[in-house]
Amino acid sequence: MKAIIDCNNFYCSCERLFKPKLDKKPVVVLSNNDGCIISRSNEAKKLGVEMAGPYFKAKPLIEKYDVAVFSSNYNLYGDLSWRVMETLRILLGKNNVEVYSVDEAFLDLSIFPENELQTIAEKIKETVEMWTGIKVSIGVAPTKVLAKVANRLSKKYVSTYNGVMVLDNEEKINHALKHTQISEIWGVGRQYAEKLSQLFCIYDALQLSRMSEEFGRTHLGGVTGVRLIKELKGEPVKETDDELVSKKMIATTRMFGSPVSDIASIKEAVATYTSRAAEKLRRQHGAAKTISVFVVTKEENHNVDYRGATLGDSVTLPAATSFTNELIKPAVAIVDRLFKNGTQYKKAGVMLSGIVPDNSIQANLFLSETKNCERKLMDMIDNVNFSQRNDVLKFAASGTVRNWKMQQNHISPRYTTRWNELYEVS
């Protein structure tokens, strides 16, 4: 049996954890630059606050009902996510926990008798909430797709199921599928949902589960459709074992907090984005042969060009590298070629491509030993920054003031990763 554990309204739950007075009150969390709404508490949903809607459009409604607003605090969310996942690994063993996203994980419960699954799931939920303070819901079923169905219903009818639903027989499975609309099935997007309802009069998951595998192959994307049909029928599908595929291109892009018109600020931003891209590159033990930089101008007339012009250029390096200092230099040089005085810029980005394994790069016979060992220095910097977060160690080219940084006007303290921001109990 499979299970999925899902943190309820995760970002909002993280903010509420250190502000108990917000319990049962509407809360929203904003995206980068405080642009859009990316997480809503159930109370905010009931008020009509739209998911992924622009913040400025929802602001009158938010102010009217005194909705609590927070900027994204990824240091806090990442640490609390790790605590939830680590709790699951302690309870079940790391081989029985598959982290699916920052707030979801699949669990292998085949180690327990089926007649004890309800009790086991309730105990897992109770322990996670007690140890971490994050509210969760759990769906248990023979397959991952059915577990997702159970999880969704456990949250939708929380007063009935108390956040835990176990589908352990055919009658329960059919009942759950009947109450799941076709658009609510994991893996069925909006276009497929419209196609199934309009062309084949399939409106719920139970109807889709009764279709043939050939139907899934023809109308639901080939092998993916076949797997979906099988899983809805209760037949687990063996997945590939490739958990991590090395990326062929790595990019870091950000909107500026406000339009930038001086070249120094743009160089600082590009150097910072290059550092972050290099960290990702080293994480997959790669080295890049090509670095590309682009900047986006602030549009002068929204009616003519809402997105603004994108200007970019690239450089092929003499040798593939993952060293931040060797990547920053050509990146900053590209900015000199792209920048135009008198122009305002709203976004910049860095892309690394031509990626090869770093163990395939030979050391240079004509360089000193210290130069050939720079990878050790990079690893030390990465370790410090990972443990402390927020670029504690950085290259001077990245700047210190960083007036171009994205807006975070409603940011909460990083309670769990900064000594000077620890939660105070009075």
**Judging by beta carbons within 10 Å of its beta carbon (0-12, 13-18, 19+), is residue 122 exposed, middle or buried?**
middle
Check residue 75 and give its pLDDT.
Answer: 85
Residue finishing a domain among 104, 120, 142: 142
Cβ atoms within 10 Å of 326's Cβ, excluding its own: 18
Check residue 306 and give its pLDDT.
Answer: 53
Residue finishing a domain among 102, 121, 142: 142
- Strand 2-7 and strand 136-141: the pairing is antiparallel
pTM of structure: 0.78
Residues β-bridged to residue 287 = 356
Check residue 242 and give its pLDDT.
Answer: 45
Q: 263-275 pLDDT, tens per residue? A: 999 999 999 999 9
Structural domain includes residue 328: yes
Check residue 335 and give its pLDDT.
Answer: 94
Structural domain includes residue 161: no
Cα–Cα distance for residue pair 264/255, rounded to 1 Å: 16
Q: What angle do CA 242, 245, 251 make, to 5 degrees?
A: 155
Structural domain includes residue 147: no
Structural domain includes residue 199: no
Residue 297: domain span = 250-398
276 and 138 fall within a common domain: no
Q: 8-44 pLDDT, tens per residue? A: 999 999 999 999 899 999 999 998 888 899 999 999 9
Note the helical H segments in 22-157. Answer: 42-47, 55-64, 74-92, 117-132, 144-156
Cβ atoms within 10 Å of 297's Cβ, excluding its own: 18
Structural domain includes residue 178: no
Structural domain includes residue 318: yes
Check residue 41 and give its pLDDT.
Answer: 94
Local structure of 409: helix, strand or coil: coil
- Strand 310-321 and strand 286-297: the pairing is antiparallel
CA dihedral 403, 406, 410, 415 (to 10 degrees): -90
Check residue 240 and give its pLDDT.
Answer: 42
Ordered mean pLDDT values, 10 residues apiece, the chain (426 residues): 94 93 93 90 93 91 94 91 96 92 93 92 96 95 95 89 92 94 90 90 92 90 90 80 65 87 92 92 91 87 61 92 92 94 91 87 59 73 75 82 77 86 81
Are 140 and 1 a contacting pair, CB within 8 Å? yes
Are 275 and 250 a contacting pair, CB within 8 Å? no
Structural domain includes residue 338: yes
Local structure of 396: helix, strand or coil: helix
User: Which residues does 224 contact at the CB level (< 8 Å), separation at least 6?
Assistant: 187
Check residue 334 and give its pLDDT.
Answer: 95
For the chain, what is the domain count?
Answer: 2
Residue with tokens 């003031």: 401
Check residue 377 and give its pLDDT.
Answer: 82
